[in-house]
């Protein structure tokens, strides 16, 4: 017989039918009751063994963490909280687990401890739920764009361009780090490197994505990105996944419409398709919130936050309008903001963004027309000479979750901006070519997948929504 996953068994009517299950032992009580998990669902399955007829040596091997195969009859359970159980007729150990050394015991473990054993943490309820939601959310991303006729483009991971102009990139090289070849002026001679030039891990697939949008119409990328910033925070990773659609013939308004439809779709999808896991994570977050001081607790639970995005209109206003609201707000006047709002052009922090969403408008917010000086070189320059056609989508509890813009389609304006910022014009020749040969209005945005995962799971540390987190000082596993 083939095995049946626990998720599928729970949809059956238990009537004594013979089934085979395989999974990992959570607990083994009274030499009789096995709690089994196979990862297909948050729910576990109780197996009942007859210790009188089972070999004693086999019974001793049924320990927490052991992997087993069991065959038996699926019958109604007399125990509370479960509708069925398996009366075991035969059992085999597929993989032993030493109970003295297995680090996941039947008790609550801290998230910090679980990060140290990231290879085992998916076996816990919390991380099992997070990873199932991660799968569902990734599937929803592809479904959303596929259903709208977008083309999925794989942009390069190794690149010679710095899309953000930030410079915080991981170098890719095969040169001898201790004794690299040098040019006459003493600098590293990258002509002798593997690619014949200096290359890095990508910080974004956007620029390469634009090349295909200006040929195929609407495209999206969904892949890993890397930032070599020394940011030890709950919101930053050195390796993360980004979703970046790029659309020809979209202006800023079209871009905002797509962004709203996208995040609503994702929130709706997990509400409708991950109900058990989301309910578990919501309860977990509620417990976490109760342990905080009253003034630090969130006003909304996890499911409320998801419905907040799905059910509310998104408030749209310019950066300048938001600046005036923040400058005149009570927290700013009473100096409650960590970063006071005083001068137009300042980059807004998450505390300001959350105030707009959670306190002032009480709905998701889209800010647009940002000061050019705090935005990237490729954004469309507005006629006022000081702002660009950029937009950010702001969520409760997190602040900015999407950043995007209409792209500058005018060759001369883009070239002047590149020169103004001192960016490497020669390295961006191909990007400028897009404006020389059949330029078109186009727009796009970026959504950090892990940031979205934090929002939909309620996990407060971004290191807990990716299987193997990479951050300064840590590249374990």
User: Which residues in the chain land under pLDDT 50?
Assistant: none
Query: According to CATH, where is 2.40.50.140 located in the chain?
Result: 6-105
| Coil, helix or strand at residue 260 | helix
| Coil, helix or strand at residue 228 | coil
The pLDDT value given to residue 63: 97
Query: According to CATH, where is 3.30.930.10 located in the chain?
Result: 123-168+203-464
What is the rounded end-to-end Cα distance, in angstroms, of the chain? 36
The pLDDT value given to residue 11: 95
Decide: residue 272, CB within 10 A, 0-12 exposed, 13-18 middle, 19+ buried.
exposed
CA distance 106 to 97: 14
CA distance 96 to 271: 37
Instruction: State the pTM of this model.
Output: 0.95
Residue 315 CA to its chain's centroid (Å): 24
The pLDDT value given to residue 424: 86
Helix axes 411-420, 429-436, angle to 10 degrees: 160
The pLDDT value given to residue 165: 61
Q: Is the Cβ–Cβ distance between 202 and 157 less than 8 Å?
A: yes
Does the domain made of 6-105 have the CATH classification 3.30.70.100? no
Q: In what order do the strands lie in the sheet with 171-172?
A: 158-159, 199-201, 171-172
Q: Which CATH architecture has domain 123-168+203-464?
A: 2-Layer Sandwich (3.30)
CA 150, 444, 200, 376: dihedral to nearest 10 degrees?
A: 170
The pLDDT value given to residue 163: 63
Q: How far is CA 197 from CA 95, 161, 175, 365, in A?
A: 49, 11, 11, 43
Decide: residue 337, CB within 10 A, 0-12 exposed, 13-18 middle, 19+ buried.
middle
List the structure tokens of 103. 């680090």
Q: In what order do the strands lie in the sheet with 365-371?
A: 151-152, 218-226, 239-248, 442-448, 399-406, 387-395, 365-371, 315-318
The pLDDT value given to residue 83: 95
DSSP 362-418: SS-EEEEEEEGGGS-TTBPBPTTSSEEEEEEEEETTTEEEEEEEEBP--HHHHHHHH
Between β-strands 315-318 and 365-371, what pairing exists: parallel, antiparallel or unpaired? parallel
List the structure tokens of 123. 């076996």
The residues facing 199 across adjacent strands are 172
List the structure tokens of 170. 């991981």
Element (H, E) at 446: strand 442-448
């Amino acid at each position: 017989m083939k095995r049946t996953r626990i998720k599928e068994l729970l949809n059956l009517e238990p009537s004594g039918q013979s089934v085979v299950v395989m999974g990992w032992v959570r607990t083994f009580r009274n030499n009789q009751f096995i709690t089994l998990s196979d990862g297909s669902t948050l729910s576990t399955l109780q197996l009942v063994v007859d210790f009188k007829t089972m070999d004693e040596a086999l019974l001793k091997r049924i320990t927490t963490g052991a992997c087993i195969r069991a065959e038996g009859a699926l019958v109604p359970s007399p125990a509370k909280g479960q509708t069925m159980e398996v009366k075991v007729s035969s059992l085999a150990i597929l993989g032993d687990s030493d109970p003295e050394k297995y680090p996941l015991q039947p008790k609550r473990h801290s998230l910090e401890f679980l990060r140290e054993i990231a290879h085992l943490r998916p076996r816990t309820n919390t991380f099992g739920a997070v990873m199932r939601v991660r799968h569902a959310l990734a599937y929803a991303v592809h479904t959303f764009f596929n259903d709208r006729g977008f083309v999925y483009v794989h942009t390069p991971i190794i690149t010679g361009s710095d899309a953000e102009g930030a410079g915080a990139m991981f170098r890719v090289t095969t040169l001898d780090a201790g004794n690299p070849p040098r040019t006459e002026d003493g600098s590293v001679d990258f002509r002798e490197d593997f690619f014949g030039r200096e290359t890095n891990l990508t910080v974004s697939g956007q620029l390469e994505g634009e090349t295909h949008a200006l040929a195929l119409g609407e495209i999206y990328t969904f892949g890993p990105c890397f930032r070599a910033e020394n940011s030890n925070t709950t919101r930053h990773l050195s390796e993360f996944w980004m979703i970046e659609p790029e659309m020809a013939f979209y202006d800023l308004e079209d871009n905002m419409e797509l962004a709203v439809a996208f995040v609503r779709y994702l929130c709706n999808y997990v509400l409708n398709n991950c109900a058990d896991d989301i309910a578990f994570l919501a309860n977990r977050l509620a417990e976490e919130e109760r342990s905080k001081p009253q003034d630090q607790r969130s006003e909304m639970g996890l499911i409320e936050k998801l419905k907040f995005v799905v059910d509310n209109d998104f408030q749209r206003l310019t950066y300048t309008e938001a600046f005036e609201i923040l400058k005149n707000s009570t927290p700013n006047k009473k100096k409650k903001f960590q970063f006071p709002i005083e001068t137009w052009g300042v980059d807004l922090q998450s505390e300001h963004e959350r105030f707009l969403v959670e306190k002032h408008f009480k709905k998701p917010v889209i800010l647009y027309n940002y000061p050019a000086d705090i935005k990237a070189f490729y954004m469309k320059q507005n006629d006022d000479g000081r702002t660009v056609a950029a937009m950010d989508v702001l969520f409760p509890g997190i602040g900015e979750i999407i950043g995007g813009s209409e792209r500058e389609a005018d060759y001369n304006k883009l070239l002047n901006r590149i020169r103004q910022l001192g960016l490497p014009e020669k390295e961006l020749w191909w990007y400028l070519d897009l404006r020389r040969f059949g330029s078109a209005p186009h727009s796009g945005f970026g959504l950090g997948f892990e940031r979205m995962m934090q929002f939909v799971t309620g996990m407060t540390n971004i290191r807990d929504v990716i299987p193997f987190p990479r951050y300064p000082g840590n590249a374990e596993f």
